[in-house]
Structure 1
Amino acid sequence: MDKIIVKGAKEHNLKNVDIELPRDKFIVFTGLSGSGKTSLAFDTIYAEGQRRYVESLSSYARQFLGQMDKPNVEYIEGLSPAISIDQKTTNRNPRSTVGTVTEIYDYLRLLYARIGTPYCPNCGKEITSQTVDQIIDKIIELPEKTKLQILAPVVRGEKGTHKKLIETVKKDGYVRVRIDGELYDLDDNINLSKTKKHNIEVVIDRIIIKEGIEKRLADSVETALKLAEGLVLIDVIDKEEMLMSTNFACIDCGIGFGEITPRMFSFNNPFGMCKPCLGLGVKKEIDVDLIIPDWNKTIAQRAIVPFGADEEGYYFQIFKAIADYHKFDISKPLSEAPQEFIDEILYGTNGRELTIKFVSKFQGERTHVRDFEGVVNNLERRYIETKSPDMQAWIEGFMNDTPCPHCHGARLNNISLSVKVGGKNIYEVTNLSIIKLLEFLDNLVLSPKQEFIGRQILKEIKERTSFLRDVGLKYLTLSRNASTLSGGESQRIRLATQIGSSLVGVLYVLDEPSIGLHQRDNAKLIKTLRNLTNLGNTLIVVEHDEETMESADYILDMGPGAGINGGEVIAFGTFDDIKKCEKSITGQYLSGKKKIDVPEVRRELGDRFVEIKGAKENNLKNIDVKIPLGGLVCITGVSGSGKSTLVNQILLKGLHQKLSKTKVRTGKYDEILGIENIDKVISIDQSPIGRTPRSNPATYTGAFDYIRDVFAMTNEAKTRGYKKGRFSFNVKGGRCEACRGDGIVKIAMHFLPDVYVPCDVCKGKRYSRETLEVKYKGKSISDVLDMTVEEALSFFENIPKIKNKLQTMYDVGLSYIKLGQPSTELSGGEAQRIKLAFELSKRATGKTLYMLDEPTTGLHVADIHKLIEVINKLVETGNTVLVIEHNLDVIKVADYIIDLGPEGGDGGGQVIATGTPEEVTKVKESYTGQYLKKYLN
């Protein structure tokens, strides 16, 4: 069958959609935010493909995979096995890295195990192994009456660790073994499998060498080596030690290796990991900057945050006693304190005793004479000793991840890091950016033997690394923690991994793979997507990017509006077909009938600035960045150029630290100037407005509080004695207790999918019958939650507090969403606009700095048009909006641009251009400026 036929799709807002999609083609689903694209692509087509695959498995297997709901669709024909690649971050596990997620690290481990050259971690010399014959020859060459013993590793799994446990056994020309204190002749039938679990010591007494004894000795030594798993320390009594091994050992330093295997290079395996940090590369340590965030405060003003400011309390009296000793006035700020005083406060008095008088909560006035361990040591001790998760969590608030002092972030032990390929250990290779890693592999000089062994492994590594480069991720390193990746980055990583798998006949469903990607790299991504269809796969991409749509075989446009006004297929065909469709809003923007205009006059920015001096976190090259206030400012640049680091890690956290006195660790910078020009900073991203279905637009914006007030003020409510809390579905009282205010009940079906049905008692209305009897203008509280924003705006037009909240949601293009729509059903773009509406409903101060990180994610160009209008409303009241953005429609309307680059990763982190969009286009080195030209024309 060469088609995928969807009949009667009704999931979410889909209105009985029928569509036929060609197989093995590149198809883009587009339309307004909330028009039903995701409902059709992911919640219907992909969900049914996954469900059918799971249903094909045995009931035994299905119980471990979980149950899958059948989407609300009559039938789908021609489905292939489906793979979803969405915007969810790949992995939040601290042990997961780009290398492990893409499986490139597995191949690197294999490469190092097979062709790696070991060096002594102590002296740096290349080390080699000896054969059994060479070791035996060495023993036989020793002078007569030489006493020696062979020691195996004391602890299994810790190669290179040896210890003498017994004296030499005096028995001429024989080898004996001591296992757990019991002595055996090697002629005895020793159970080798038993010895694997025990400490072993092999003892040789080389006193008499006679003709014919060499053979017996050689056989005994060979057996001893087998027991010792190849690694031995030959100790010539009263003379010297010689390290000899059938594996690898440094004779000079007495350091030995076990067999070099892939597990040696795994930081998740005890054989490879750095033991002090357990392979994490970081250790949680108390951060002095979090203990004392503001050095201009006095101790009485709670400068030392963990111990408060109770002047009669135990710790305050300790601090006072230390201050008296150092003749420091405790009423002065800590910035004026002598270093000796600060050291004793933080790290203790080192045995010097203090006399402390304090008031105990339970025992009244007390006196103690004792030394003080210091605030840092106190918190560290309590963190280890406490059994309370709450106490641990509280202390963690004063801790930060710092590089492990033993491995310095490499995660591996010294032995593993001393094996090299091309002069680099495995950590140094994973620290290279993708583009530099490819250069390293291309220029690798190997011996003929190494080349023969490593040829296939290198081929796999190069191919997978090339896929990462081709999807615009050439700036990443394999050592980068997966939890630090953006949604777009993690999606492209998974895309690269799928290409590497070379599957055929698969249905791939992607959610905006162009997110976070600069236009310069877009062509590479599109080429990569095309490769999937060339292999014989069907590709459905939910996307708004014009270049991607132009490259697709077909486009499906959903609409005509969003929410209840959407859910229909408006147009299906080629790029040119969509442009010609009069009903399609997408087509109108593609054809130029509708467009976002370039401002005729840009705002004159005044002399108010926030300036970051000496920014040097990650790849930022010690740069100074001056951000003008009172306008729309865009931070631009290629992917990985340092935009998010500058804005989120340095500016946002730095301002929070200064303005809100919050405990956050910022990126590295020298200082931030001009903080007095702003009174608060607000970050608005696309994260959900709530994690559960109980959160909705009405509760988030605060409109529901006022709505409950209205119902509590009705005569019926007063007569019954109902207060405001009666109209909440989250607490006992007015909610339906059968479903606990959810409105639905889950029924477990064992081997069939769980079924969600409306509550039998409240019929999905969430409230008790008595609560629903209270009406306002003929509507119950449940009826109000079921209203759209547009309907509610008319219903509450005479109540200003509610009307103002709803008006802002209407203004940001959310007229179609229901007040009680669960937050889990909202798209990222809808969630962000609800947050914007919430901020717009507040009284403007004129000195607020709003920060938005790629606000166009998930937005159709028509929605971007509305977004720009909302941003301008914020700016027109004197506020500043700082936006990290790749979308050229937003960039072209900015008042000021700060372009970073020129490349990503190591090649980025510099300011390439600043000024108006027109000024940036004149900078040849600016990729953003070159792509911006046609949008200004």
Structure 2
Amino acid sequence: MQREDKKINVWGARVHNLKNIDVEIPRNSLTVITGLSGSGKSSLAFDTIFAEGQRRYIETFSAYARNFLGGMERPDVDKITGLSPVISIEQKTTNKNPRSTVGTTTEIYDFMRLLFARAGRAYSYATGEEMVKYTEERVLEMITDDYAGRRIYILAPLVRSRKGHYRELFESMRKKGYLHVRVDGEVKEIARGMKTDRYKNHDIEVVIDKMQVQPKDKDNERLKKTVATAMKQGDGLIMILDHETDEAKYFSKRLMCPTTGISYSDPAPNNFSFNSPQGACPHCKGLGQINEIDMKKVIPDRRLSIHAGAIVPLGKYRNQMIFWQIDAILKKYDCDIKTPVEDIPDEAMSEILYGSLENVRIDKDLVKTSSDYFVAFDGVVKYLRTLIDSDDSATVQKWADQFMAVCRCPECKGQRLNREALSYRIWDKNIAELADMDIAELREWLNHVKEHLNSQQRQIAEEILKEIRTRVDFLLEVGLDYLSLNRQSATLSGGESQRIRLATQIGSQLVNVLYILDEPSIGLHQRDNERLISSLKELRDIGNTVIVVEHDKDMMLASDYLIDIGPKAGRKGGEVVFQGTPAELLGLSNSSKSSKPSHPSTPSHLSHPSHNENSIDGSTAAYLTGRCNINIPAKRRTGNGNSLWIRGASGNNLKHVDVEFPLGKLIVVTGVSGSGKSTLVNETLQPILSQHFYRSIKKPMPYDSIDGLEHIDKVVNVDQSPLGRTPRSNPATYTGVFADIRSLFVNLPEAKIRGYKPGRFSFNVKGGRCETCGGNGYKTIEMNFLPDVMVPCEVCHGKRYNRETLEVRYKGKSIADVLDMTINQAVEFFENVPDILRKIKTIQDVGLGYIKLGQPSTTLSGGESQRVKLATELSKKDTGRTLYILDEPTTGLHFEDIRILMEVIGRLVDRGNTVVIIEHNLDVIKLADHIIDMGPEGGRGGGEVLSVGTPEEVAESTKGYTPRFLKAELENKGINNRN
């Protein structure tokens, strides 16, 4: 028996579906908790162990602090011992803010800003020359050397290339006693009331003194005082003007361009931040992109006339001023408003879109005046802009979005920073260029940068570079070498964002901490899995306990301890099927029961290896030992003979690839992380099809052409986004079965007698719902700066409906009782109602029998949401010409769940449809009819199509990493099952 402080013990856990279970976890170990989707893994790891750890942490605060924070509810568990401080690393994407990037999340970009502020060399954005910086003594010395014996003006620059009349500035200088100024290269005497043209850019310098420079050996006291005064007036910058040649030269105590006199303020880290006004590009405010009006969306069909509605935002001709103006412009070019746009001269269309330089004459008959009417015309584009800017309502913005396109900022070229920040360089790279490199390329730059620094730079940069290298190395360790620091956090997958936080935790070097991770292997190719497992073991080896909720076979076998929760999902789960080492699970260990960690109150059948010999089919042990397999099909589908071709795809890292998608097949797109799979499918193929079928506004990544669209009639993207944004959304409402259930209740005799309509049984409209909670079933208590607290409604007690509605019952059940049923219960309950049964049976078929009909969609995982969407599509009648797109559908799925899911997907393909899946899981890849393998590496090293064909054909390829793993999978599994 191990000492108590060597393990974490959980007694009597009953959170959600956990059935009063006892679990032990060795400390300083890598423990994997596995089991079917919905079996209770997350309930044990996050809702019990993590929740209790967090509660105890808050209890260490003073009573005063807890008064502000509020107490956390204790999870439903008898006792937990041996608990360390807990850190949870979940799948939630780090930040949806477009200003959040990989660099800011990992703090690498913060160190880069410091590096450039302290060791960067400034160059002029006007001439490219290196900026210079002089002391006042050095300025005096240079003036004496360069202008000895010559007459000069000493001036202080006040205004540089800015508009304005500057009357107050001239008056201020006059009152200070200065007599002359130089305005736009011309020296003038300052007169009372003097001003400049307010609409032009001006350069203004005040003349401090005019003198003849004495040789070095003479007393230059006057020159010293004049230079000091000029430096003060010019904010550290002075100009010397040669009286004879009229040539100007600049000197500055700050960084200055020796040719143009442009000066920079002393650099600080904020000057290199796109989230700070000091560093952000003023045009795009640091976002790197702007919204522009897209002319192709404004005039989609040039064959139409403006009268017929060619300019979509204006619509068809109406008797309004803007149409009169357009007609007047067209008449100047011998056209009219009924001329097709393609026949209108380009100059005329330019005037119509961007405005006329001359006032437009409107016919007096149109405006009903005694004479013709002249009016300025600003153009359709400005008219649109004015509408958008003057009305920020959601309706107008949605209307305007259809004419907008996101494009790269023309001023900073997408680099987010202002031109001063981009002018600082280290080894010929500015900070934006480094942030655009992938992590592997950045590490290579960091390896050699010291060789290109001078001794002073090297001394300043040494510690900063060390910090950057350390953090970059941690990202490399968790397999994120293909990301760049500029990559937006919102575009990261759940697995990627989780691994970024994992890298940060490895870097923190904390010890005696309990880390709980939720499927960190998501999105990882088998090649990268080893690096992730090594990182987790590194966390363990420095003195931490690591608990991973995971389904990955490699992770399970590499763990020190394994806990299998099951045996099924939902009400039939929540039990400990096995706990022990992977070797014991596989039956490879002959050690006695007492030699392994065991909880005294744990029933022996839960932990004894012999129990696995009689365990149910579909359990973790059955799949790991090979007793259960996802069988390889006896033959591959041949498809319908037609194909969809994308040619010249070049978005992100795609290298102008031509890709064939044979229709009527199960197609799997695979490859290492960052190889270009999502760019090809989610960013190119899917937007092309959505634009074609649904006029979607999402713009596809660059490509040359697409062929074969006539062979499909719709595209369905089954992603992992939530079913809805509020708890009012649930599987019943999403699938549409709730409408059928309400119709059933409306037709009951009791409902007819009372005159109830379908709205009576909706919790979203007044009538039948509980008005105290508005049909929510709970009330939200605002906690000011704390998260809101939700408590059950004191009137309906969470049932959502009022008493009269709940009195109508079908087979003894009210509408609230039906919503509280699991899918499995509902299938039995509605077995004689075909319309309802068909829709809910498909949810059961995708392995979601354990979720409730009325379960808020906000409580469903990404994988569960994806399968509800898939079930919804399955319940619809299809034409057999639909193309389905799924992105990593195995997320959160156990081996048995994957088997059920792939059977369902197989049925879709058997009906003639095409399914395209992005996936790394070999159990899915081996079932494909056609594989597209991308690579060979991630990031700039990827973007190529390495091999295509059946799994057997791809397994024989010598390109990339997938064939090696796939070949081993085909040889080791399912070969005997193919007959």
With normalisation by structure 1, the TM-score equals 0.89
Match of 2:468 among 426, 445, 461: 461
Structure 1 residue 334: deviation in Å? Answer: 5.8
Unaligned runs of 5+ in 2: 161-168, 180-189, 191-203, 588-611, 972-979
Structure 1 residues 144 and 533, CA, compared in 2 at 3 Å: closer, same or farther?
A: same
Query: Which residues in structure 2 correspond to 1:107-186 (within 5 Å)?
Result: 107-139=111-143, 142-143=147-148, 146=151, 148-149=153-154, 151=156, 166=173
Structure 1, 339-348 or 259-268: larger mean CA deviation = 339-348
Q: Deviations over 1:663-718 (max 9, x none)?
A: 22111111211111011000001122122222111111111111111111111111
Structure 1 residue 649: deviation in Å? Answer: 1.1
Structure 1 residues 894 and 313, CA, compared in 2 at 3 Å: closer, same or farther?
A: farther
Structure 1 residue 224: deviation in Å? Answer: 6.6
Partner in structure 2 of residue 417 of structure 1: 422
- Is the Cα–Cα contact under 8 Å of residues 227 and 238 in structure 2 kept in the other structure? no
Q: Deviations over 1:522-546 (max 9, x none)?
A: 1111111111111212211111111
Partner in structure 2 of residue 6 of structure 1: 10
1:22 matched to 2:26? The reply is yes
Match of 1:887 among 895, 909, 921: 921
- Is the Cα–Cα contact under 8 Å of residues 152 and 240 in structure 2 kept in the other structure? no
Separation of aligned partners in 1, 2:48 and 2:206:
66
Separation of aligned partners in 2, 1:579 and 1:349:
81
Structure 1, 589-598 or 532-541: larger mean CA deviation = 532-541
The amino acid that maps onto 1:18 is D
Separation of aligned partners in 2, 1:721 and 1:510:
54
Structure 1, 796-805 or 301-310: larger mean CA deviation = 301-310
**SS in structure 2 opposite 1:533?**
helix
Partner in structure 2 of residue 586 of structure 1: 620
Partner in structure 2 of residue 852 of structure 1: 886
Partner in structure 2 of residue 553 of structure 1: 560
1:95 matched to 2:127? The reply is no
Query: Which residues in structure 2 correspond to 1:419-818 (within 5 Å)?
Result: 419-444=424-449, 445=451, 446-580=453-587, 581=612, 582-583=614-615, 585-746=619-780, 756-818=790-852
The amino acid that maps onto 1:583 is S
Match of 2:399 among 378, 385, 394: 394
Structure 1 residues 418 and 748, CA, compared in 2 at 3 Å: closer, same or farther?
A: closer
Structure 1 residue 373: deviation in Å? Answer: 3.5
Structure 1 residues 643 and 216, CA, compared in 2 at 3 Å: closer, same or farther?
A: same
Partner in structure 2 of residue 56 of structure 1: 60
**SS in structure 2 opposite 1:307?**
coil
Q: Deviations over 1:590-613 (max 9, x none)?
A: 111111011111111232111111
Structure 1, 872-881 or 144-153: larger mean CA deviation = 144-153
- Is the Cα–Cα contact under 8 Å of residues 647 and 658 in structure 2 kept in the other structure? yes
Structure 1 residues 717 and 356, CA, compared in 2 at 3 Å: closer, same or farther?
A: farther
**SS in structure 2 opposite 1:798?**
coil
Q: Deviations over 1:222-243 (max 9, x none)?
A: 5875786644444566744332
Separation of aligned partners in 2, 1:63 and 1:341:
70
Partner in structure 2 of residue 46 of structure 1: 50
CA-based RMSD? 3.4
Separation of aligned partners in 2, 1:313 and 1:60:
67
With normalisation by structure 2, the TM-score equals 0.86
Partner in structure 1 of residue 193 of structure 2: none
Partner in structure 2 of residue 243 of structure 1: 250
Number of matched residues? 903
Structure 1 residues 457 and 386, CA, compared in 2 at 3 Å: closer, same or farther?
A: same
Separation of aligned partners in 2, 1:694 and 1:815:
20
**SS in structure 1 opposite 2:420?**
helix
Q: Deviations over 1:436-482 (max 9, x none)?
A: 11111112222233222212111111121121122111111112222
- Is the Cα–Cα contact under 8 Å of residues 674 and 939 in structure 2 kept in the other structure? yes
Q: Deviations over 1:119-172 (max 9, x none)?
A: 2222222233222321132345555795644536669xxxxxxx9984798899
- Is the Cα–Cα contact under 8 Å of residues 168 and 203 in structure 1 kept in the other structure? no
The amino acid that maps onto 1:260 is P
Separation of aligned partners in 1, 2:252 and 2:631:
76
- Is the Cα–Cα contact under 8 Å of residues 178 and 208 in structure 2 kept in the other structure? no
Structure 1 residue 270: deviation in Å? Answer: 2.5
Separation of aligned partners in 2, 1:593 and 1:538:
32
Structure 1, 574-583 or 408-417: larger mean CA deviation = 574-583
**SS in structure 2 opposite 1:306?**
coil
Structure 1 residues 913 and 315, CA, compared in 2 at 3 Å: closer, same or farther?
A: farther
Match of 2:967 among 928, 933, 937: 933
The amino acid that maps onto 1:443 is H
Structure 1 residues 267 and 827, CA, compared in 2 at 3 Å: closer, same or farther?
A: closer
1:269 matched to 2:276? The reply is yes
Structure 1 residue 827: deviation in Å? Answer: 2.0
Structure 1 residues 204 and 324, CA, compared in 2 at 3 Å: closer, same or farther?
A: closer
Q: Deviations over 1:373-431 (max 9, x none)?
A: 43323212333344545434432342222111111111122222122111111111111
- Is the Cα–Cα contact under 8 Å of residues 921 and 929 in structure 1 kept in the other structure? yes
The amino acid that maps onto 1:411 is R
- Is the Cα–Cα contact under 8 Å of residues 696 and 820 in structure 1 kept in the other structure? yes
Q: Deviations over 1:175-210 (max 9, x none)?
A: xxxxxxxx9xxxxxxxxxxxxxxx998945657979
**SS in structure 2 opposite 1:867?**
helix
The amino acid that maps onto 1:492 is R
**SS in structure 1 opposite 2:858?**
helix
Separation of aligned partners in 1, 2:108 and 2:365:
60
The amino acid that maps onto 1:836 is L
Partner in structure 2 of residue 194 of structure 1: none
- Is the Cα–Cα contact under 8 Å of residues 475 and 906 in structure 1 kept in the other structure? yes
Partner in structure 1 of residue 75 of structure 2: 71
Q: Deviations over 1:54-84 (max 9, x none)?
A: 3433466567767644433334333222222
Structure 1 residues 472 and 206, CA, compared in 2 at 3 Å: closer, same or farther?
A: same
Separation of aligned partners in 2, 1:41 and 1:358:
79
Separation of aligned partners in 2, 1:612 and 1:605:
18
The amino acid that maps onto 2:516 is V
- Is the Cα–Cα contact under 8 Å of residues 156 and 230 in structure 2 kept in the other structure? no
**SS in structure 2 opposite 1:683?**
strand
Structure 1, 56-65 or 199-208: larger mean CA deviation = 199-208
Separation of aligned partners in 1, 2:458 and 2:887:
46
Structure 1 residue 245: deviation in Å? Answer: 2.2
The amino acid that maps onto 2:753 is T
The amino acid that maps onto 2:34 is T
- Is the Cα–Cα contact under 8 Å of residues 62 and 751 in structure 1 kept in the other structure? no
The amino acid that maps onto 1:877 is R
- Is the Cα–Cα contact under 8 Å of residues 248 and 257 in structure 1 kept in the other structure? yes
The alignment-based identity, stated in percent, is: 52
- Is the Cα–Cα contact under 8 Å of residues 703 and 805 in structure 1 kept in the other structure? yes
**SS in structure 1 opposite 2:250?**
strand
Structure 1 residues 305 and 87, CA, compared in 2 at 3 Å: closer, same or farther?
A: farther
Separation of aligned partners in 1, 2:622 and 2:336:
72
Separation of aligned partners in 1, 2:939 and 2:365:
55
The amino acid that maps onto 2:649 is A
Structure 1 residues 765 and 152, CA, compared in 2 at 3 Å: closer, same or farther?
A: same
Structure 1 residues 713 and 251, CA, compared in 2 at 3 Å: closer, same or farther?
A: same
Structure 1 residues 763 and 416, CA, compared in 2 at 3 Å: closer, same or farther?
A: closer
Separation of aligned partners in 2, 1:871 and 1:560:
24
